[in-house]
Amino acid sequence: MGDDIFSKSIPLDLPKIKSVIYYLIQDDTIVYIGSTSNTLARVFTHLKDKDFNKVTYYPVEEKDKFDTEASEIVKYKPKYNRSVPANNLFCSQSKIRERHKGSTKVEVAMALCKPKCIMRDIVYYDLNEVEKELERLRKEGSR
């Protein structure tokens, strides 16, 4: 991209920890967030198509990896992340519709919940909020 790839400062002592969340940073702005078990190899794959001049990371439990990555992407909305990975916390409109096929209340529940982020025209919701709203609507309807 802009800089020669050899001028980028990539620490060669990146860990081989089972699971890490890593951040690519350009001039103090997070431009990409990912998760991996081989940080050095994964960071090197980004050299050809992303501008960044710093990498930071922290270890996470394998079972929490995708939820943590999704939460961080929703929080920071990095420019190179195209979507939120499959997780247990956030869900796109289409996945919520698919999950509750046949429910007449799902559209109302999503309308009552505030989207957590929009990435590449995909709207993501807090899955727990939508589920709670659906449950409330179902209880109201059965009275």
- State the chain's maximal CA–CA distance in angstroms: 67
Using alpha carbons, list the distances in angstroms from residue 115 to 42, 61, 121: 30, 27, 12
Model-level pTM?
0.78
Q: What is the pLDDT of residue 129?
A: 94
Could you read off the pLDDT of 20-44 as tens digits, one per residue? Answer: 899 999 999 999 999 998 888 889 8
Name every residue whose Cβ is closer than 8 Å to that of residue 58 and which is 6 or more positions away in sequence. 20, 21
Using alpha carbons, list the distances in angstroms from residue 18 to 31, 39, 74, 97: 23, 9, 23, 34
Answer yes or no: are the C-beta atoms of 31 and 43 closer than 8 Å: no
Residues β-bridged to residue 91:
125
Q: Which two tokens stand for residue 135?
A: 């449950």
* Cα 65 from Cα 59, distance rounded (Å): 9
Domains along the sequence of the chain with CATH: 1-81 (3.40.1440.10), 89-143 (no CATH)
Higher pLDDT, 36 or 1: 36
Q: What is the pLDDT of residue 8?
A: 44
Could you read off the pLDDT of 88-126 as tens digits, one per residue? Answer: 899 998 899 998 888 888 989 999 999 998 887 889 999
Could you read off the pLDDT of 42-75 as tens digits, one per residue? Answer: 898 999 999 999 998 888 898 999 999 999 999 9
